[in-house]
Chains A and B, each alone.
Chain A
Amino acid sequence: MATLSTQRTRWLNRLGTGRGFSKETASPLWAITAWIVGLIVFFPVLYMFLTGFKTENAAVELPPKLVFWPTFENYEAVFGINFLPFFRNSIMTSLISTFFVMLLAIPCAYALALYRPKKWKDILFFFISTRFLPVAGVIVPLYVIFSPTGDPQLGGRGLNLLGTLPGLILLYTAMNLPIAIWMLRSFFEEVPRDVLDAARVDGAGLPREMLQIVLPMVAPGLVATIFISIIFAWNEFFLAYNLAPKESTVPMFMVRFVTSEGLFWAKLAASCTMAVFPIVLLGWLAQRQLVRGLSMGAVK
């Protein structure tokens, strides 16, 4: 035991600053285990994808067939039950809300990183606490304010946004704003001070400094932030279900499968595949930056 604890102190004392993966190749057993775990975790996605190309009868067959002759009838059927408007609504909602998020977040994050106002830290933490507050805490008044009649005691006129895309866009903008600010701030912080000083000496005004010098430098960060914002907006369920339940975004299309179409697994799988496809693609592309966004820029 004594040797073990001295060993431990020795190792911990040597903790340096280097970063990186293990350089040594793991044993074959390790590789096989990792592959098996990976395949098990991925199986539901693969199964969903494959089932979308089976006939309804084949979809419930056990053991599940992994090799078969694909059919496209489910995809035709899903478009037949009006999938497209939901898809279009989701694209509009995610893209427009992300546009507003970036419009508000870029100047704000820029200031919080490079031109800090008084109490900048309180401002930073105020933003993040708005993201951590459960939506359940604001959903009731939102429902009232968004209704056509509103709250009679507040003048009796609502915003009439229930079931509309502008209402969702407004809320998704607020939902993604804090994450975008924190994430962008962490990218702006990495811009070398020399570059900024040089620009200022050259007499570049703030607009030129921001638009022509800094933003191009953090372009990958901007793209990652845009991706994260789209992912969250696309997958959002609680607000959409409470405030725009009928004809809105893709998650609301899935709701109808809980009741009316629950028995049609192949069609269900086809629509699930289409629902997740754009986001899985974005996520795979943004893999490296994902963790930064999800940890509010605290982890790189």
Chain B
Amino acid sequence: MAIAETPTRRRTLLRAAPAAKRGLGDHEIGRLLVMPALIFAILVTQAPFLLTIWYSLQRWNLNRPERRAFVGFDNYIFLVTRDPAFLEAITNTVVFVVGSVLASLALGLLYAELVNHRFPGRGIVRTMLITPFLIMPAAAALTWKNQLLNPNYGVVDWTVNTVLPGNPGPSWLDEFPMLSVIAVIVWRWAPFMMLILLAGMQSISEEVREAARVDGATAKQEFLDITLPQLWRFMQLGGLLGTVFIVQEIDPIFMMTGGGPGDATTTLPYLVYEKARESFDIGRGAALGVIVVLISIVAITFLVRLLDRMLERREA
């Protein structure tokens, strides 16, 4: 897929002049060094994607291979007009991704602001805050499902009961399945946002913060008027990277809810898995895969543009 070309080609032309001056930008040897990785990436990622498009235009169920045929856009039409699971999966995906990304950003911002000040044991607190991101998603999901969210023996409901006596906590996975899945995602991704925002905060001059404090700014003013505006670019980066990565997370869904109850936590990538691996429906699974890619391209395009801008800034 050549999505990246559109936003960058124009800039490449603009950049050609200074690059040539520095003797960079037209190295024969460079082309040779790039080739192995480039060919590998094209073979392993682009070739299958072309096949996905091809399969999405076919009626092909592995249970009935003899009925395989080219059917044009029938798979897409079926999904959009006659498959209720598809429409629900679209809504679920939006709720899942937008909810997770925004909550991770907000929480990550809190973590980052907390450890961006000097206090005893700051290094330890920072390490504790980063750790969830390192936990294998499958293990995180199982621990949350059993030890934290179980209605009888889980710590969360026990805490609810202790704080509000006589109030039996809910059965999280049955009553709030999407919220439970999002909670685990946010627990794992807020540290990622923290790391990016912390780097952003540290790029803000200490002199400015000090000047503000000398002028009598409260911590709140300092945060709202200095830190936040400077962080905007980093929040965009975190939000977009979070989007493209979180869209693909199916581990907690698989481990905690299996897409249910009903289809309540079935996102598009999870539906691709169900169609292909459980219903052996190659055609419709492929069509779903294409749709997931098309939706992701919006976020990818913005992300590529942002990375391009950040790259330009560095080069300049």
Chain A positions 1-57 with a Cβ under 8 Å from a chain B Cβ: 4, 7-8, 10-12, 14-26, 30-31, 33-35, 37-39, 41-45, 47-48, 51
Cα A283 to Cα B188 with chains together (Å): 14
- Indicate whether B51 reaches chain A with its CB closer than 8 angstroms: yes
Closest to A129 in B: B4
| A5 nearest CB neighbor, chain B only | B225
Q: B136 contacts A23, CB within 8 Å? A: no
A137 adjacent to chain B (CB < 8 Å): yes
Residues of A within 8 A of B25 (CB): 116, 118, 120
| B204 in contact with A38 (CB, 8 Å) | no
Partner of B136, one of A134, A138, A235: A235
Contact with B along A103-137 (1 / 0, CB 8 A): 01101101110111111111101111110111111
> Known contacts being A12-B229, A17-B205, is A238 close to B250, with CB within 8 Å?
yes
Partner of B137, one of A10, A110, A235: A235
What A residues does B204 contact at CB under 8 A? 15
Within 8 Å CB of B172, what residues of A? Answer: none
**In the complex, are the beta carbons of A134 and B247 less than 8 A apart?**
yes
A181 to B119, CA, bound (A): 37
For the complex, what is the distance from the CA of A20 to the CA of B138, rounded to whole Å?
Answer: 36
Q: Please determine whether B27 and A117 come into contact, CB atoms closer than 8 angstroms.
A: yes
B124 within 8 A of A: yes
The answer to whether B46 has its CB under 8 Å from any CB of chain A is yes
In angstroms, how far is the closest chain A Cβ from the Cβ of B269?
Answer: 4
Known: A137-B290, A275-B136. A132 touches B300 (CB 8 A): yes
Interfacial chain B residues near A43, Cβ < 8 Å: 155
Kindly name the residue among B29, B33, B136, B155 whose own CB sees the greatest number of chain A CB atoms within 10 A: B136
Q: Count of A residues near B, CB < 8 Å? A: 121
Q: Are B125 and A129 in contact (CB under 8 A)?
A: no
Which residues of chain A come closer than 8 Å to B215, judged between CB atoms? 7, 10-11
Query: Are A117 and B26 interface neighbours, CB within 8 A?
Result: yes
B232, chain A: closest CB distance, angstroms: 13
Interface: A83 (CB within 8 A): no
Which of chain A's residues have a CB closer than 8 A to the CB of B48? 138, 141-142, 145
Q: Are B211 and A11 in touch, CB under 8 angstroms?
A: yes
* Separation of A282 and B41 alpha carbons in the complex (Å): 27
Q: Which of B41, B139, B144, B195 contacts A174 (CB 8 A)?
A: B41
A182 to B174, CA, bound (A): 42
Is B120 engaged at the interface, CB distance under 8 Å to the other chain?
A: yes
Contact of A117 (CB < 8 Å), options: B31, B55, B116, B230 = B31
Q: Mark B228-269, 1 if CB is under 8 A from A, else 0.
A: 011000100100010010011011001100100000000011
Closest residue to B47 on the A side, CB-wise? A141
CA A235 – CA B206 in complex, angstroms?
A: 37
- Does any Cβ of B come within 8 Å of A84's Cβ? no
CB contacts (< 8 Å) of B127 on chain A: these are 284, 287
Asked if B316 is an interface residue, CB under 8 A from chain A, the answer is: no
Residue A60, interface by CB 8 Å:
yes
Residue A265 is within 8 A (CB to CB) of chain B in the complex: yes
A279 touches B (CB below 8 Å): yes
Q: Which residue of A lies closest to B192 (CB)?
A: A294
CA distance A126 to B52 in the complex (A): 19
Which residues of B are found within 8 Å of A255, using beta-carbon distances?
Answer: 138, 254-255
Kindly provide the distance from the CB of A264 to the nearest chain B CB, expressed in whole angstroms: 10
Contact yes or no, B30 A111, CB < 8 A: yes
B168 to chain A minimum Cβ distance, whole angstroms, is 13
Contacts of A19 in B (CB 8 A): 202-203, 205-206
A218 within 8 A of B: no
28 A-B pairs in the complex with CB atoms less than 8 angstroms apart: A11-B211, A11-B226, A19-B203, A22-B118, A25-B117, A33-B114, A37-B114, A41-B111, A41-B131, A41-B191, A42-B129, A63-B162, A104-B37, A115-B24, A120-B34, A122-B4, A128-B4, A128-B304, A129-B3, A136-B292, A140-B272, A141-B286, A177-B40, A231-B134, A238-B250, A272-B142, A275-B136, A299-B200
**When A and B form their complex, which 3 residue pairs have the shortest distance between CB atoms, in order from nearest?**
A125-B4, A31-B119, A141-B51
